Chains A and B, each alone.
Chain A
Amino acid sequence: MSTISSSSGLQVGNGPGRPRRASPTTRVSTFLYSRPGLILLLLLGPPMAWMLIVYLGSLSALLVNSFFSLDGYTGLVVRHFTLATYRDLFTRSNFEIVQRTAGMAAAVTITAAILAFPLSLYIAQFASRRAKSILYLAVLLPLWSSYLVRVYAWKLILAKEGIISWFFGVLHLKGLLDWLLNLPVIGGPSLSVSNLGIFIVFVYVWLPYMILPIQAALERVPKSLLEASGDLGAKPIQTFRHVILPLAFPGVVAGSIFSFSLTLGDFIVPTALGNSSYFIGQAVLSHQGTSGNIPLAAAFTMIPIVIMIFYLIAAKRLGAFEAL
Chain B
Amino acid sequence: MSETQVPAVRFSGVSRHFGEIKAVDGVSLDIQDGEFFTMLGPSGSGKTTCLRLIAGFDRPTSGTILLHGQDVGRLPPYERDVNTVFQDYALFPHMTVGENVAYGLMIERVPKVERQKRVVEMLELVRLSGMYGRKPSQLSGGQRQRVALARALIKHPRVLLLDEPLGALDLKLRQQMQIELKVIQQRVGITFIYVTHDQEEALAMSDRLAVFNLGKIEQVGSPAEIYEHPATPFVAGFVGVSNLISGETARTITGTTDTFSIRPEKIHLVDPGAEVPYGMYAADGSVRDVVYLGLYTRYLVELEQGGDLVVVQQNLNTTSMDVLAARGRKVRLLWQHDHNRLLKDI
Contacts and interface: CB of A to CB of B under 8 A. Distances in A.
Direct contact between A and B judged by beta carbons closer than 8 A: yes
Nearest to B80: A16
Interface residues of A, number: 20
B174 interface: no
Nearest to B105: A6
B68 A15 contact: yes
Nearest to A33: B76
> What band does the interface of chain B fall in when counting residues whose beta carbon is under 8 Å from A?
20 to 34
Interface stretch (B12-20, B108-116, B324-332): B108-116
B80 A34 contact: no
A29 interface: yes
Contacts of A1: 188-189
Given A8-B108, A34-B59, A13 B189 contact: no
A16 B81 contact: yes
B68 A16 contact: yes
A30 B79 contact: yes
B74 interface: yes
A10 interface: yes
Contact of A34 (B74, B81, B187, B189): B74
B296 interface: no
B77 to A, nearest CB: 9
A17 B114 contact: no
B22 interface: no
Contacts, number: 61
A30 to B, nearest CB: 5
A16 B67 contact: yes
Interface string A12-42: 1111111010000010011001100000000
Contact of B70 (A15, A26, A29): A15
Nearest to A26: B78
Given A15-B68, A15-B70, A18-B81, A4 B75 contact: no
A56 to B, nearest CB: 31
Contacts of A2: 121, 156, 187-188
B70 A30 contact: no
B12 to A, nearest CB: 15
Contacts of B69: 15-16
A15 B67 CA distance: 8
